[in-house]
Chain A
Amino acid sequence: MAVAFDEMNGLGGDLRPAYEELSRWLKETPPDALEYRRQEAELLFRRIGITFAVYGDAEAQERLIPFDVIPRIMSAKEWTLLEKGLKQRVLALNLFLKDIYHGRDILRANIVPEDLIFQNPVFRPEMNGQDVPHDIYIHIAGIDIIRTDPENFIVLEDNARTPSGVSYMLENREIMMRLFPDLFARHRVAPVERYPDELLSALRSVAPHSASAEPTVALMTPGVYNSAYYEHSFLADKLGIELVEGRDLIVKNDEVFMRTTEGLKRVDVIYRRVDDDFLDPLTFRPDSALGVPGLMSAYAAGNITLANAVGTGISDDKAIYSYMPDIVKFYLSEEPILKNVQTWRCREPQDLSYVLDNLADLVVKEVHGSGGYGMLIGPAATKATIEAFRDKLKREPEGFIAQPTLALSTCPTCTDKGLAPRHVDLRPFVLTGSSHTTVVPGGLTRVALKEGSLVVNSSQGGGTKDTWILSE
């Protein structure tokens, strides 16, 4: 694999302008002072209780995501381009969803194959013909971005269901400002703290017509045992809204109410962090204890807005992903600003045979997988693993896509052996309300802490960094 583009030192070892001040500061700061603050940061995280749960890991029911104190920095110019690209992408995703659940122009134009939609388990026939307020399906998107050179931003994955991680963006900043006031004083870092306000106003703006002038918004969580529970409670707190579980809600006459100490109170907008499958046992999984019986019928009656809408999974599906450049062009008649990773669709015989011939060089992903589970990283895999994957691919080619192994950009990171480059990605959060789309300048930078590793997922030992967007 080629040498990766380094966010600080570029490709040839020339310090990039956005990192000049950081580099000076690093030279002045003794390594043990850095280590001391790293430990302090960890203590803070643990005390605040910013933890996440790893499924199937009984020993470490609550773990900290390792936090790296070296920030990842971007210039205003880079951000402007990225922001534009993100807004374009999310706009196209929303238009695509409206089309899929209504007129289906894109299918008639033969841009996306029909069976990829209708035979997809994340396609929700319940949403056919159903209007959602202001035609917004994805109110909160987390778009995973990677870089391989200074010019391009590449989308690795769209997250249009219940993307998580924004609490880390906010808490990382909080902790960095506490630990490194001196470093902040030497930079002009765009603030991220207005995210909760932006989110709340986006959510209120999409309240149903039957809501009062002051719509009631609630955040719905699967409960304390969910891996992202901390984030749910954190956001509810910052937004000043109730954190509800399914059992707190009840549907009467197609309206949704929460049970309060003063009786039932109507809810207008639910920022739900519960997957489609578990929302309503009457419509989806009957065994779900997390949901609210009748919720979908209140939704169909237009008395409740769900954010994100039901059925958005069809837009961020890995099988659909490879069509995104065409989707952007189809709806917006614009060239996509953000690039896609070259993707082979194993469902297509030509692509499959290429993939089978080059397994050792490719990354193969399950179309419906997430969290870095169930994927093959060819260059890092043993022969046996590759052969096992080959069988799986032949048996069920439509379940997989393949991509080249990309040299994700790196960023200096604290390691046992001092500062060293580690691969990073970035998840900015895009908010869409009735009047506009916003991207708070920053996002969650995830870093693969193991040397050479490309997997940044927290469930696989990845860490996080604060992300700084410099003002002009």
Chain B
Amino acid sequence: MLSRTAENLFWLARYVERAEYLARTIDATLRVTALPAAYIGKTNEWDSALLTAGVGPTFYEHHEEANERNVVEYLSFSDANPSSIKNCIEAARLNSRSVRTALTSEMWDTINSAWIELQGVWTKGGTGSREELAKFLRFVQETSLRFDGSAYRTMLRNDAYWFSRLGVHLERADNTARILDVKYHVLLPEEEHVGGPLDYYQWTSILRSVSATTAYHWVYRETLKPWLIADLLILNDTLPRSLASCYSNLVRNLDQIGVAYGRQGASQRHARGVRNRLEHSHMDDIFQHGVHEFIQEFIADNSRLGEIITKQYLI
């Protein structure tokens, strides 16, 4: 297939995944900040939402402080933020238009309808009430589910599908890693409070932003423990948003491409390397090594994989 087509499919999937993640982040933050101050402590949740989205520095170029109004606006509708939900969906649609021939009509319909529907919200300049905002966030998440579902159900299992899956899992791994990193950073300095009521809601909010609250209880049958949450999100292959699961998928999809093209390359090797590291890691070691360091390394490895894939296939 055309390199440009593969590139568009890859990015299309990334944009949709990112939009959903942003919606989840906002949603989770709204829930935490709705709690009385005694439950959430002194941290500025909106600041941490910006950090998880990786847009802290650019945000503070335009704003003095982070609050609900300006962060929601920045993450959702801002033109100035290249990865706002709005820009993600616009970029997704532009990418879809460029590769319409490689998309199934169901996938195109999902993106195009979302874009049409959101025009209304954007032209109003955003959502007025909390209720409207909640509806908007749900809509973004549903769009992503529909997109994923229609890709899964309607696409031929060929390179077009595999490149789009690569985009999903690469982006997802990045998002999960970031939220873990930020939350650990925010929460862990006060080690003595770990497990206290204050943190409980913070940890819940992490799980919520990766939609794993129920999963946690099924897997561990335990109250929330930071190291178990880290274990779930990093090493547990059965949780679709865990780093381990993302890498199983990346390796599988890259292998399928390799087999179809009759050639393996740098991206297959690199992905396998990262996955092996995850497979052979234990939470104890990670804690000893430092969660922050571990995740920083992972984020760098993950974005390297993006570069290698681009070089090998997309240009």
Residues of A in contact with B (beta carbons under 8 Å apart): 46-47, 49, 223-224, 229, 233-234, 236-237, 242-245, 247-248, 258-262
Which 5 pairs of residues, A with B, have the shortest CB-CB distance? A233-B100, A237-B101, A261-B313, A259-B3, A261-B6
Q: Is B218 on the interface with A (CB-CB < 8 A)?
A: no
A interface footprint on B1-39 (CB within 8 Å = 1, 0 otherwise): 111111000000000000000000000000000000000
Q: Are A261 and B3 in contact (CB under 8 A)?
A: yes
When distances are taken between beta carbons in the complex, the residues of chain A under 8 Å from B204 are none
Q: Are B112 and A49 in contact (CB under 8 A)?
A: yes
Q: Are B2 and A259 in contact (CB under 8 A)?
A: yes
When distances are taken between beta carbons in the complex, the residues of chain A under 8 Å from B109 are 47
What separation, in Å, do the CA atoms of A242 and B3 have in the docked complex? 11
- Does more than half of chain B's interface fall in helix, strand or loop, or is it mixed? helix
Q: Is B159 on the interface with A (CB-CB < 8 A)?
A: yes
When distances are taken between beta carbons in the complex, the residues of chain A under 8 Å from B257 are 261
- Does more than half of chain A's interface fall in helix, strand or loop, or is it mixed? mixed
When distances are taken between beta carbons in the complex, the residues of chain B under 8 Å from A237 are 100-101
| B272 CB, nearest partner CB in chain A, Å | 19
| A102 CB, nearest partner CB in chain B, Å | 36
Chain B contributes a number of interface residues (CB within 8 A of A) equal to 23
Q: Are A47 and B94 in contact (CB under 8 A)?
A: no
When distances are taken between beta carbons in the complex, the residues of chain B under 8 Å from A224 are 94, 97-98
Q: Are A262 and B98 in contact (CB under 8 A)?
A: no
Q: Are A46 and B116 in contact (CB under 8 A)?
A: yes
When distances are taken between beta carbons in the complex, the residues of chain B under 8 Å from A247 are 4
A interface footprint on B104-118 (CB within 8 Å = 1, 0 otherwise): 000011001100100
When distances are taken between beta carbons in the complex, the residues of chain A under 8 Å from B5 are 242
Q: Are A244 and B112 in contact (CB under 8 A)?
A: no
Q: Are A248 and B4 in contact (CB under 8 A)?
A: yes
Residues of B in contact with A (beta carbons under 8 Å apart): 1-6, 94, 97-98, 100-101, 108-109, 112-113, 116, 159, 163, 257, 261, 313-315
Question: Do A236 and B101 form a contact, CB below 8 Å, given A47-B109, A261-B159, A261-B313?
Answer: yes
Q: Which of A46, A233, A245, A262 contacts B4 (CB 8 A)?
A: A245
What separation, in Å, do the CA atoms of A229 and B4 have in the docked complex? 16
When distances are taken between beta carbons in the complex, the residues of chain B under 8 Å from A236 are 101
Question: Do A260 and B116 form a contact, CB below 8 Å, given A233-B97, A236-B101?
Answer: no
Question: Do A248 and B101 form a contact, CB below 8 Å, given A49-B108, A224-B94?
Answer: no
| A213 CB, nearest partner CB in chain B, Å | 22
When distances are taken between beta carbons in the complex, the residues of chain A under 8 Å from B159 are 261
What separation, in Å, do the CA atoms of A47 and B105 have in the docked complex? 10
B95: nearest residue on chain A (CB-CB)?
Answer: A224
When distances are taken between beta carbons in the complex, the residues of chain B under 8 Å from A229 are 97
| 15 further contact pairs, Cβ within 8 A, besides A223-B98, A242-B101 | A47-B109, A47-B112, A229-B97, A233-B101, A237-B100, A237-B101, A242-B1, A242-B2, A244-B2, A259-B2, A259-B3, A259-B315, A260-B1, A260-B3, A261-B6
Q: Which of B98, B113, B261 contacts A261 (CB 8 A)?
A: B261
B261: nearest residue on chain A (CB-CB)?
Answer: A262
| A414 CB, nearest partner CB in chain B, Å | 24
Q: Which of A46, A243, A261 contacts B101 (CB 8 A)?
A: A243
Question: Do A261 and B112 form a contact, CB below 8 Å, given A229-B97, A233-B97?
Answer: no
When distances are taken between beta carbons in the complex, the residues of chain A under 8 Å from B261 are 261-262
What separation, in Å, do the CA atoms of A243 and B100 have in the docked complex? 9
Q: Which of A223, A233, A234, A258 contacts B2 (CB 8 A)?
A: A258
Q: Are A261 and B1 in contact (CB under 8 A)?
A: yes
B162: nearest residue on chain A (CB-CB)?
Answer: A261
A-B contact pairs, 9 of them (CB 8 A): A46-B116, A233-B97, A242-B2, A242-B5, A259-B315, A260-B1, A261-B1, A261-B261, A261-B314
| B67 CB, nearest partner CB in chain A, Å | 34
Q: Are B98 and A248 in contact (CB under 8 A)?
A: no
Among B2, B6, B94, B98, max chain A CB count under 10 A is at: B2
What separation, in Å, do the CA atoms of A233 and B5 have in the docked complex? 12
When distances are taken between beta carbons in the complex, the residues of chain B under 8 Å from A223 are 98
What separation, in Å, do the CA atoms of A258 and B5 have in the docked complex? 12
A235: nearest residue on chain B (CB-CB)?
Answer: B101
